[in-house]
Amino acid sequence: MALSVEASEIVEIFQWMESEESYDLSSEKLEKLEGEIADVLLYLLQLSAKFEIDPVKAASRKLQVNEKKYPIEKAKGSAKKYNEF
């Protein structure tokens, strides 16, 4: 639950921003983002440790799965889901 709240705090930073502003954060917003990214990472690491999951290996495996689901020649520049190609 805390992980979800912290992820939402990241979203909150960008809520109501125009796209252009979201790519050029003020130093105050950037500092806030850094803190919230740290919060999310710390909760993820706690969860990973609890279930003895190596988060780097998990991410690597997921990238391999996504590479097959979303081959670059079909997915590049597309927002379609893998079953919509």
> What is the residue type of 70?
Y
Contact present, 3 and 40 (Cβ < 8 Å) = yes
Q: Which helix (H) or strand (E) holds 56?
A: helix 55-69
Q: Please select the residue that binds Mg ion; options are 10, 33, 37, 39, rule is CB under 5 A.
A: 39
The residue range among 19-27, 32-40, 47-55, 57-65 that interacts with Mg ion, by the rule CB under 5 A, is 32-40
Decide whether 1 or 63 has the Cβ nearer to Mg ion.
1
Decide whether 3 or 9 has the Cβ nearer to Mg ion.
9
- Cβ-based neighbour number of residue 28 at 10 Å: 8
The binding site for Mg ion (CB under 5 A) comprises 6, 9, 36, 39
